[in-house]
C-alpha cells in the first residue's frame, strides 16, 4: 500500500475498536490466574476441575484459530470480529451464572471459541486499514493496550475478588464486548481477502482435530498414545492436503519466508519461558509476599508502564533500525529481566525485573509483529494472523506444561521437613491449602523457573540473530503464496 493512498479518516477510531476487542481477551486471561484460589474455596473446584477450567479455553482457542482466520478472509473480518465478541460475551454470562465446576468448564470452552473467532480479526483489520507508513505506530498502540490489559485485568479483578464472589471477575467482559460490537458496526468498514475463494472443508476438519489433539497431549502431560497418534496423523494429513489443494485454507508458501517463519519461531521460543514463570509469580506475590489479589495485580504496573513507553520508542526506532536489531536486543533485555528475578528476593527484585522486562518487550514486540504481518499478503491477513496466534498459544501451552512440571518437582524437593507429608501432598494448583512453611519452596520454584526463562529468552535472541534478515521493514515484501 503506497503512502499516498487515501487514508480512511476513521482509522484511529477503528484502531480504538480493535484495541477494545483485544482488551477483553487480555483482561480475561489475566483475571483468571488471580481467581484460581477462589475457585477452589468458593466453587468447590478440585485440582482436576481447575486444570480443565484453564485447559478448556486453550483447547478450544488453539483448535479453531486457523479455521477462524481463514473464514475471516473469506466472509469478512468485521463479521468474524462481531461474532467472536458476541460468543465471548454470552459465554461470560454463562460463566458468571455457573454454580458447578462443569458449568464453568463449559463456559470457558465457549469463551475459547469466541476468542478464536475474534483474535485473528483484530490484527488483520489493522493491516488493511493502515498503510505501511502508519502501520508500525498503529501496531505499537495495539500492543500497548495489551500491556494495559495485563494490569487492568488483575487490578479490577483483584478489587472484585476482595469485595464480591469469584464469578464477578467475568462481569468485566460483558460491557466491554457490548461497547466493542456497537462501535464495530458504527465505525468499521468490512474487509475481505478473496471472497470467491472456496471453503476448504477437509483442511478445516484436519486442522481442528490435529491442533486440538496436539494441544491436549501437551497440556495433559501424559503419553496418551492414541491421542498422540491422532495428532501426528491428522496434522501430517493436513500438510499433505494443503500442499495439493488448489485453494488451501493455509497458504504454506508463507513459511518459505524467513521474515515470517524466523520471527514467528523466535517469538515462539521466547514464549516457552514466559508462561509458567508469570503464572507462578502470581502465586509468589500472594502466598510468599502476602499481597491481596488487587495488590498482586498492581505489582505488575511497572511492566505495563515500561512496555507502553518502549512500545512507542520501538515504533520510532523501527524507522531507523531493522526489525532484527530491535527483536534481538529486546530478547537479550528480557533474558536479563528473568535473571534479576532469579537472583533477587522480595518485591524489589520483582519491581526491577518488571521494569527491565517491559523495556525488552516494548522493543521486541512491535518489531516481531511487524515482521510477521509484513510477510503476509493482505488477502491472507486473517489466516496469517491466526497462524501466528496459534504458534504463540501452543508455545504458551508447552511452557506451562513442561516448565510447570519442572517447577512442581523443584517445589516438592524444597518442601521443608516440618510440613507433614499429607499436607504437602494436598498442595496443588488451586493452593486451597498453603502452609507458611512451604513459602521457601515456592520461592525456589520461581527462581529455577526464572533461570529457565532467562536461558530460553537468550536462546531466542541467538536464534533470531542467525535467522532473521537484517533489513528495514520498507525493504520487506510479502511472499507470493498462490
Q: What is the CATH number of the domain that holds 188?
A: 1.20.1250.20
Structural domain includes residue 255: yes
Pair 57, 181 in one domain: yes
Higher pLDDT residue, 195 or 334?
A: 334
Which pairs count as long-range contacts for 431-438, CB under 8 Å and 24+ apart, including other chains?
A: 431/36, 431/37, 431/40, 431/283, 431/287, 432/37, 432/40, 432/41, 434/287
Asked if residue 4 is part of any domain, the answer here is: no
Q: How far is residue 331's CA from residue 143's CA, in Å, rounded to a whole number?
A: 16
Confidence of residue 1 (pLDDT cuts 50, 70, 90): very low
Q: Do 452 and 440 belong to one domain?
A: yes
Given pLDDT bands bounded at 50, 70 and 90, which one contains residue 479?
A: very low
CB-facing half-sphere around the CA of 219: CA atoms within 13 A:
25
Q: How confident is the model at residue 194 (pLDDT cuts 50, 70, 90)?
A: low
Hunting for cell 490489559 — which residue is that?
149
How much is the pLDDT for 327? 87
- Tell me the C-alpha distance between 197 and 206, whole Å: 19
Model confidence at 352, in pLDDT bands (50, 70, 90)?
very high
Q: Among 230, 248, 266, which residue terminates a domain?
A: 248
Mean pLDDT of 345-361: 88
Domain-embedded: residue 336: yes
**Residue at 1 is within a domain:** no
Domain extent for 150: 11-199+249-475
Retrieve residue 60's grid coordinates.
478450544
Q: Is the pLDDT of residue 90 over 90?
A: yes
pLDDT over 70 at 404, yes or no? no
In a domain, 482, yes or no: no
The pLDDT assigned to 114 comes to: 92
pLDDT at 52: 78
Instruction: For the full predicted model, state whether its pTM sits above 0.85.
Output: no
Alpha helix positions (H), 98-224: 101-129, 132-163, 173-187, 201-220
- C-alpha cell, 302: 511497572
Q: What is the average pLDDT score of the chain? A: 78
pLDDT at 436: 63
Residue 425 pLDDT > 60: no
Q: Which of 191, 215, 248 is the last residue of a domain?
A: 248
Alpha-carbon span 297 to 354, nearest angstrom: 12
Q: What percent of the chain has pLDDT over 90?
A: 8
Question: Model confidence at 437, in pLDDT bands (50, 70, 90)?
Answer: low
- 427 vs 371, residue with greater confidence: 371
The per-residue pLDDT for 475 is 46
Residue 481 maps to a domain: no
Asked if 217 and 290 sit in the same domain, the reply is no
Max mean pLDDT range (121-125, 279-283, 316-320): 121-125
Confidence of residue 93 (pLDDT cuts 50, 70, 90): very high
Same domain, 273 and 139: yes
DSSP notation for 100-113? SHHHHHHHHHHHHH
Measure the CA–CA gap between 76 and 382, rounded to whole angstroms.
Answer: 9
The pLDDT of residue 157 is above 50: yes
DSSP states along 228-260: HHHHHHHHHHHHHHHHH-SS-SS-GGGGG-HHH
Say what the pLDDT of residue 356 is.
92
In tens, the pLDDT along 116-140 reads: 888 888 878 887 888 777 777 787 7
367 shares a domain with 351: yes
Check if the beta carbon of residue 61 is closer than 8 Å to that of residue 208: no
- Decide if 264 is inside a domain: yes
Residues 50 and 73 in one domain: yes
CA–CA separation, 135 and 137 (whole Å):
5
Same domain, 181 and 271: yes
User: How far is Cα 71 from Cα 78, in angstroms, rounded to an integer?
Assistant: 11
The residue length of the chain stands at: 482
425 burial type by CB count under 10 A (0-12 exposed, 13-18 middle, 19+ buried)? exposed
- pLDDT for 478 equals 46
Domain co-membership, 210 together with 276: no
Residues 235 and 360 in one domain: no
Q: Say how far apart CA 129 and CA 190 lie, in whole Å.
A: 10
Residue 263 resides in a domain: yes
**Same domain (yes/no): 229, 346:** no
> What's the count of helices (H) and strands (E) in the chain, helices before strands?
17, 0
Q: Is the same domain home to 260 and 290?
A: yes
How many structural domains does the chain have?
2
The arithmetic mean of pLDDT across residues 59-65, rounded, is 82
Query: pLDDT at position 165, please?
Result: 77
Q: Tell me the per-residue pLDDT of 6-51, one tens digit each, with 9 for 90 and over.
A: 677 788 888 888 888 888 887 777 677 667 667 766 777 766 677 7
Domain identity same for 392 and 326: yes
Top mean-pLDDT range of 19-28, 53-62, 80-89, 195-204: 80-89
Amino acid at each position: 500500500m503506497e503512502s499516498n493512498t487515501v487514508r480512511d479518516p476513521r482509522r484511529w477510531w477503528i484502531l480504538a475498536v480493535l484495541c477494545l476487542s483485544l482488551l477483553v481477551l487480555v483482561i480475561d486471561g489475566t483475571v483468571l490466574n488471580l481467581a484460581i484460589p477462589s475457585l477452589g474455596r468458593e466453587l468447590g473446584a478440585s485440582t482436576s476441575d481447575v486444570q480443565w477450567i484453564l485447559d478448556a479455553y486453550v483447547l478450544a482457542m488453539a483448535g479453531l484459530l486457523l479455521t477462524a482466520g481463514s473464514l475471516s478472509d473469506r466472509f469478512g473480518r468485521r463479521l468474524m470480529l462481531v461474532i467472536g465478541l458476541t460468543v465471548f460475551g454470552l459465554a461470560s454470562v454463562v460463566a458468571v451464572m455457573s454454580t458447578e465446576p462443569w458449568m464453568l468448564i463449559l463456559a470457558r470452552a465457549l469463551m475459547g471459541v469466541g476468542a478464536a473467532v475474534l483474535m485473528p480479526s483484530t490484527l488483520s483489520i489493522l493491516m488493511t486499514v493502515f498503510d505501511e507508513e502508519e502501520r508500525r505506530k498503529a501496531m505499537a498502540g495495539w500492543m500497548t493496550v495489551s500491556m494495559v490489559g495485563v494490569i487492568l485485568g488483575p487490578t479490577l479483578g483483584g478489587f472484585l475478588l476482595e469485595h464480591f464472589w469469584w464469578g464477578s471477575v467475568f462481569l468485566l467482559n460483558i460491557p466491554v464486548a457490548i461497547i466493542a460490537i456497537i462501535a464495530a458496526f458504527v465505525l468499521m468498514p468490512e474487509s475481505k481477502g478473496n471472497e470467491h475463494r472456496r471453503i476448504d472443508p477437509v483442511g478445516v476438519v484436519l486442522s481442528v482435530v490435529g491442533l486440538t489433539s496436539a494441544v491436549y497431549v501437551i497440556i495433559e502431560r501424559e503419553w496418551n498414545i492414541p491421542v498422540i497418534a491422532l495428532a501426528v496423523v491428522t496434522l501430517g494429513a493436513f500438510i499433505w492436503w494443503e500442499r495439493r489443494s488448489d485453494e488451501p485454507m493455509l497458504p504454506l508458501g508463507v513459511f518459505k519466508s524467513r521474515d515470517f517463519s524466523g520471527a514467528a519461531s523466535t517469538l515462539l521460543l521466547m514464549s516457552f519461558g514466559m508462561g509458567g514463570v508469570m503464572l507462578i509469580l502470581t502465586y509468589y506475590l500472594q502466598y510468599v509476599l502476602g499481597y491481596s489479589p488487587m495488590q498482586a495485580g498492581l505489582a505488575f504496573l511497572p511492566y505495563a508502564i515500561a512496555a507502553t513507553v518502549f512500545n512507542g520508542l520501538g515504533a520510532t526506532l523501527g524507522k531507523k533500525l531493522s526489525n532484527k536489531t530491535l527483536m534481538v536486543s529486546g530478547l537479550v533485555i528480557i533474558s536479563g529481566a528473568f535473571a534479576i528475578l532469579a537472583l533477587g528476593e522480595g518485591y524489589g527484585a520483582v519491581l526491577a525485573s518488571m521494569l527491565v522486562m517491559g523495556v525488552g518487550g516494548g522493543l521486541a514486540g512491535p518489531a516481531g509483529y511487524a515482521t510477521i504481518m509484513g510477510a503476509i499478503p493482505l488477502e491472507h491477513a486473517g489466516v496469517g494472523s491466526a497462524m501466528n496466534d496459534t504458534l504463540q498459544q501452543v508455545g504458551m501451552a508447552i511452557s506451562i506444561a513442561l516448565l510447570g512440571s519442572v517447577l512442581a518437582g523443584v517445589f516438592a524437593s524444597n518442601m521443608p521437613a516440618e510440613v507433614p507429608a499429607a499436607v504437602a501432598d494436598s498442595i496443588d494448583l488451586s493452593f486451597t491449602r498453603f502452609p507458611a512453611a512451604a513459602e521457601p519452596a515456592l520461592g525456589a520454584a520461581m527462581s529455577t523457573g526464572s533461570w529457565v526463562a532467562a536461558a530460553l529468552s537468550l536462546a531466542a535472541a541467538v536464534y533470531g540473530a542467525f535467522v532473521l534478515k537484517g533489513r528495514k521493514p520498507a525493504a520487506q515484501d510479502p511472499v507470493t503464496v498462490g
